[in-house]
Amino acid sequence: MSGEFDYIKRNLYSVMEKIEKAALKSGRTAKDIKLVAVTKTVEPERIMKILDEGILDLGENRVQELTKKYDILNSRECKWHLIGHLQTNKVKYIVDKVSLIHSVDRIELAKEIQKRAEAIGKIIDVLVQVNVSGEESKFGISVEDAYGLVREISSMPNLRVKGLMTMAPYAENPESVRYVFSKLRDLSIDIGKEKLDNSNMEILSMGMSNDFEVAIEEGASLVRIGTALFGKRN
């Protein structure tokens, strides 16, 4: 039987095929790449379609939208990723709900997460978001300051740094942002060598609908994909 949302399943298979090919090019397999389905603006009915296909990692960039969908989908086994800019005063709403925060880019935010995580006795996995391209419109700490931030976080008992995240500038031709991904990979290798407490560089969160194949070729271990799965957002 074909249903209204079958296109999501077809899109998923097409994305997975591309992930597999790109992974092979970097000496890995699709199993080495985690797909986070970016569900911002996508209604719960359509999100359920992707959950039914076994994709349980969901990414939201707004706190309010995440908490709302968290409640609606609470009977499902999904794992929530906060991928967008996080205001310090909103940490309290998500700290008990997220499995990974991708967007830690300043010490004040890390301190607030530490405080809220300690209060509920939880250890929170985080990524440090790096603004590799230096584009003013992008959040993230500079490449130069990233190591210092990881080091400061490594002394916080309720946070674990699991790696780095970046967003490349939008590019018609993704080859033109390949350098962004290779620079983040190199940075994660350098930081990994320091063997800081409570930190590792397991996760490289980079690659979106438009550029995930290039990101995987450059070493991404997690891609955040919305449009290529659910179609254009309104």
Ligand X SMILES: *Cc1c(COP(=O)(O)O)cnc(C)c1O
Whose Cβ is closer to ligand X: residue 102's or residue 185's?
A: 102
Nearest residue to 160 (alpha-carbon basis) of 98, 215, 216: 98
The C-alpha R_g of the chain, in whole angstroms, comes to: 17
Whose Cβ is closer to ligand X: residue 94's or residue 196's?
A: 94
Least Å distance between CB 140 and ligand X?
Answer: 10
Torsion angle (degrees, nearest 10) of CA 133, 138, 143, 145: 160
Is residue 83 part of the contact set for ligand X (CB under 6 A)? yes
Which range touches ligand X (CB under 6 A), out of 24-32, 65-73, 175-183, 226-234?
Answer: 226-234
What is the separation of C-alpha 208 from the centre of its chain, rounded to a whole number of angstroms?
10
How far apart are the C-alpha atoms of 90 and 82, rounded to whole Å? 12
Burial 158-171 (b: 16+ CB within 10 A, else e): bbbbbbbbbbbeee
Which two three-digit tokens encode residue 170? 């939008």
Which range touches ligand X (CB under 6 A), out of 16-24, 69-77, 185-193, 220-228?
Answer: 220-228
Least Å distance between CB 139 and ligand X?
Answer: 9
How far apart are the C-alpha atoms of 193 and 186, rounded to whole Å? 11
Least Å distance between CB 84 and ligand X?
Answer: 5
Is residue 187 part of the contact set for ligand X (CB under 6 A)? no
Q: Taking CB under 6 A as the criterion, which residues in 156-185 touch ligand X? A: 167
Is residue 209 part of the contact set for ligand X (CB under 6 A)? yes
Is residue 210 part of the contact set for ligand X (CB under 6 A)? yes
How far apart are the C-alpha atoms of 161 and 200, rounded to whole Å? 6
Least Å distance between CB 123 and ligand X?
Answer: 23
Which two three-digit tokens encode residue 140? 């993230």
Least Å distance between CB 227 and ligand X?
Answer: 3
Residues that bind ligand X (CB under 6 A): 38, 40, 61, 83-84, 167, 208-210, 224-228
